[in-house]
Structure 1
Amino acid sequence: MSKFMTSFKFTYLGKVKSKSFIIITLLLVLLVILAFNSKNILNLLDDDKNIGIVTENENIYKAISSNKNAYYGNIGVEKYSKEEAEQHLESGEIDYFIEINISENDEINAELFSKSEIPTQIRSGTKNLLDNLQSQISIQKLGLNNTEIKELNKQSTLKEKILNNSGEISDKEKNFQLLFFTFIIVAIFFIVMTYTNQIAMEVAVEKTSRVIEMILTSIKPSLHILAKIVGVFMVALTQVIIVILTVCFCLLIFDAGAIFEKFDLEVTSHSTFLIILSIVFWLIGIISYTIVAAVLGSLTSRIEDIGQSVMPLILILLASFYIVIFSYDNTENYFVKVSSYIPLFSPFTMLFRIANNEVDILSVISSVVISIIFIVTLFIIASKSYKSLILKYEKNILYNLKGVFLRKNA
């Protein structure tokens, strides 16, 4: 046990003190803090915008002034003559101005002026505002009473129901789940890639420098690889705990409710379920990729071949990530469904299905169980073949791997 702890401490402390761990953890903490302060950051970045209104119809200006927040948000509106508006636009006192005229047929004709590209929000807000004004003028022209106006403006009702065992979720809750999921898969992607390269490189360095031969004289190969895997697992767990503590701290310090309200987000029991499973799949992903990386690293006889050795694993990682990215508009496609049960892919694709509330609890449990079985089986194979792999110095990676299986079958 003391030998295992020595190897474990060496792996764990070495990685926790490494620059990559510190940088990635600080970045995750910074992202969490920025997310909880996003409202204040956006307010700082948003310049005060002002719009000038050029019209001879005082009622038009009053209608725009009273309804500007619905179409423009916190943007100032002021009435000017055409000459004044042009001067203020040139000097930068206003950012845009709208010249509005009403024809003899009571049709609104307007022009939107700006010195630079007009943002979509301003363009669409202006169009919606003018359409609303035109509708009001048409109603007055037709002499409709309040009852007729209500009938004219009556809208259809559409309700959404998700008929599965996960229950129904609101749009706000789904927005939060997708936003949280996006953050998680990006974090998993970069963390797994970092640990994969680290563990493979560490094993390869021990092998090529012949240090492993001295290590294996004092500790069993199975204990050595177990110590490395558990060490990396604890490093990942440390990272998760730091992020969770940061989230808890931000929830206590910052006004999370205002942030969720601004971005139309909501956290409920379904979201808590996603957060817990995100941690589970985060750890499953790191352990799975770490074991495979350790085996691939032991296949390498030269440091310069480590990239070639780890490349298949990196391609699987990229494939998992891109299956999700390219399936945002089609969450129930064939690739997502099938890959959500395949180890190495499921930490991404199953979480994606959970975030969209399109999977039942039995499917989630099945995916987790399959991944655990894969991890246990892979570890047994890795621990049995590690000694023969780590002491082989053939330059051909495929030859080393083939030799292991032939020896086992012999």
Structure 2
Amino acid sequence: MNNGFWTVVGFTAKNKLRGKAFLVTTLIIAVIISIVINLPYLISQFSGEGKPTAVGYLDSSSEKAKSELFTSTRIADMLNTYYGKQEKPELKLVPIADAGSAEANEKALKQAVADDVIHGYIEFSPGKESDFPAITYKSESLMESKVSDSLTAALQVVKMEAVIGGGGLSDEVKALLTKPIELDTVQISTVEGAGSIGSGKTKEQQGIDFLTVYVIIIMLFMAIMISGQMIASEITAEKSSRVMEILITSVSPLKAMFGKIFGMFLIVLLQLALYIAVIVINMTLPQNIDKLGDLGISLSEIDPVLVTYALVFFFTGYFLFATLFAAVGSIVSRTEDLGQAVLPITMLSLAGFYICIFGGMNSPGSMLMKVCSFIPFVSPYAMVTRLGLSDPPLWQVWLSIATLLASILVAGWLSAKIYRAGVLMYGKKPSMKELFKAMRAYK
């Protein structure tokens, strides 16, 4: 072990790659990623979502002779016309014959649901002659938001078309009134020397940036959690098995700590490369690439500037947390105590992750996100979010990077002192007073 740092790096990487638990866990996570990406397609295949949902209605022959504008039969016919124009119809209206009385009709509709002829049915409660009837959708399932939302949108269109059609308007005026409004959005830059944009981004480019930021934040969180736990558990395991005593006699504590951090970093890079490859392969499958195309998103439009900055914050964020995990792992003598010891660091990473996922993705330019951009434990998440979804000034980006680098130097120096003092302290976890005394005594 006289080669020092690189010997520790190689030993750490090889030892982890040979472990069956590591290989199995990596494979399982890759399979889970594939399932999650393809979950909507798998659900549609097994649940029959590719077919329109059958919705029943009472086909009353007595209504066909009525001249009112809004009869149930006329509305149902217009709904069928509306859904018939869709490339992939969401719903299909199925007529159920009138049984002669309200009780018999209700029974017939429920029997049709029980026989899987229809998924549910709509009932019309007529109002005044010129009023649109109140409509109720009934089914066996709770929270039928997909069907109810689709019906609400379709009925709004049907109502408008019926009113326009009964007003004696020309076809040109009807087409003008029903033509949908096209609103495009473009992200602009108002700051010279912006961090990521400069000339603005279209709606499609914003979509791919949103997807990129989302993936990067999740990957950073996974890297910190997986590698941090592995670094801390590796050091604690060596300490509890007394291997650390042999290691320290061959390699200086400083080289041992940073060698483990860097060796684990290589393992994490290998893992993430595999996960990214799995994501790209799954996203380019026909069923997924078609959905991205429908949203106007193309993987070829990923912003290289955003990716470059994201890698910088990814690396700096990793090394900041890794040094802290190594320090904590060095003062714990038993692996069963490790979970409680690393909890504060885990909470710091969780805080950054949740702030960006649940707040920053919707309001990247908020004051909270601006402040978080300069807090070292949160800034890797916050600044990546701002770079992808807003337009921070260049000086803020580099100030955030400089703050992170300074924090890594301070955390590395402090972690090295804790590591040198803690790796040979056995028994119960040392108190802050004992640890501080040992750090001062170590020259």
Matched, 1:123 2:148: yes
The partner residue of 1:87 within 95, 98, 111 is 111
Matched, 1:295 2:310: no
**Unpaired stretches in structure 1, ≥5 consecutive residues:** none
Question: Quick check: 2:186–2:202 contact (8 Å CA) kept in 1?
Answer: no
TM-align CA RMSD: 3.5
The partner residue of 2:55 within 51, 55, 80 is 51
Identity %: 22
Matched, 1:342 2:375: yes
Q: Residue type matched to 1:399 in 2? A: K
| Aligned mates of 2:304, 2:28 — CA distance in 1 | 23
- Any idea what SS the aligned residue of 2:166 has? helix
The 1:127/1:4 distance shift into structure 2, 3 A limit, reads closer
| Aligned mates of 1:249, 1:81 — CA distance in 2 | 50
The 1:303/1:155 distance shift into structure 2, 3 A limit, reads closer
| Aligned mates of 2:247, 2:35 — CA distance in 1 | 45
The structural deviation recorded for 1:304 is 5.2
Query: Greater CA deviation, 290-299 or 262-271?
Result: 262-271
- Any idea what SS the aligned residue of 1:52 has? strand
Question: Which residue in 1 is equivalent to 2:403?
Answer: 370
Question: Which residue in 1 is equivalent to 2:12?
Answer: 11
Matched, 1:396 2:397: no
Question: Which residue in 2 is equivalent to 1:182?
Answer: 214
> Cα deviation per residue 1:46-76 (whole Å; 9 max; x = unaligned)?
3342122434456544422221157883433
| Aligned mates of 1:20, 1:349 — CA distance in 2 | 33
| Aligned mates of 1:33, 1:378 — CA distance in 2 | 37
Query: Greater CA deviation, 220-229 or 252-261?
Result: 252-261
Matched, 1:97 2:121: yes
The 1:263/1:7 distance shift into structure 2, 3 A limit, reads same
> Cα deviation per residue 1:263-297 (whole Å; 9 max; x = unaligned)?
56444545454445444433333322111111122
The 1:220/1:400 distance shift into structure 2, 3 A limit, reads same
| Aligned mates of 1:284, 1:82 — CA distance in 2 | 71
Q: Residue type matched to 1:174 in 2? A: Q
Question: Which residue in 1 is equivalent to 2:105?
Answer: none
The structural deviation recorded for 1:18 is 3.6
Query: Greater CA deviation, 229-238 or 313-322?
Result: 313-322
| Number of residue pairs matched by the alignment | 409
Matched, 1:163 2:191: no
The 1:200/1:400 distance shift into structure 2, 3 A limit, reads farther
Question: Quick check: 1:389–1:401 contact (8 Å CA) kept in 2?
Answer: yes
> Cα deviation per residue 1:6-64 (whole Å; 9 max; x = unaligned)?
32222112223345533443244224433553553242143342122434456544422
- Any idea what SS the aligned residue of 1:113 has? strand
| Aligned mates of 1:215, 1:28 — CA distance in 2 | 32
Question: Quick check: 2:90–2:150 contact (8 Å CA) kept in 1?
Answer: no
The structural deviation recorded for 1:101 is 7.4
The partner residue of 2:91 within 59, 64, 75 is 75
Task: List aligned pairs for 1:4-403, cutoff 5 A.
Answer: 4-18=5-19, 21-34=22-35, 37-38=38-39, 40-47=41-48, 48=51, 49-55=53-59, 56-57=63-64, 59-68=74-83, 73-83=89-99, 85-100=109-124, 105-109=129-133, 110-117=135-142, 119-149=144-174, 152=177, 158-164=183-189, 165=194, 166=197, 167-250=199-282, 254=286, 256-262=288-294, 265-267=297-299, 269-301=301-333, 303=335, 305-327=337-359, 328-383=361-416, 386-393=419-426, 395-403=429-437
More helix by share: 1
Question: Quick check: 1:176–1:266 contact (8 Å CA) kept in 2?
Answer: yes
> Cα deviation per residue 1:74-96 (whole Å; 9 max; x = unaligned)?
43333332446443223121112
- Any idea what SS the aligned residue of 2:7 has? helix
The 1:120/1:302 distance shift into structure 2, 3 A limit, reads closer
| Aligned mates of 1:116, 1:303 — CA distance in 2 | 48
| Aligned mates of 1:80, 1:61 — CA distance in 2 | 12
Question: Which residue in 1 is equivalent to 2:67?
Answer: none
> Cα deviation per residue 1:140-197 (whole Å; 9 max; x = unaligned)?
3332334544565577775544332424334444344434433443343344223222
Question: Quick check: 1:284–1:371 contact (8 Å CA) kept in 2?
Answer: yes
The structural deviation recorded for 1:235 is 0.6
The structural deviation recorded for 1:375 is 2.8
| Aligned mates of 2:96, 2:334 — CA distance in 1 | 75
| Aligned mates of 1:192, 1:316 — CA distance in 2 | 11
Question: Quick check: 2:8–2:256 contact (8 Å CA) kept in 1?
Answer: yes
Query: Greater CA deviation, 53-62 or 87-96?
Result: 53-62
- Any idea what SS the aligned residue of 1:73 has? coil
| Aligned mates of 2:153, 2:287 — CA distance in 1 | 33
The 1:27/1:210 distance shift into structure 2, 3 A limit, reads closer
| Aligned mates of 2:320, 2:366 — CA distance in 1 | 25
| Aligned mates of 1:31, 1:174 — CA distance in 2 | 27
Q: Residue type matched to 1:114 in 2? A: S
Q: Residue type matched to 1:375 in 2? A: I
Query: Greater CA deviation, 234-243 or 273-282?
Result: 273-282
| Aligned mates of 1:390, 1:264 — CA distance in 2 | 54
Q: Residue type matched to 2:370 in 1? A: K
- Any idea what SS the aligned residue of 1:216 has? helix
Question: Quick check: 2:186–2:203 contact (8 Å CA) kept in 1?
Answer: no
- TM-score when scaled to structure 2? 0.78
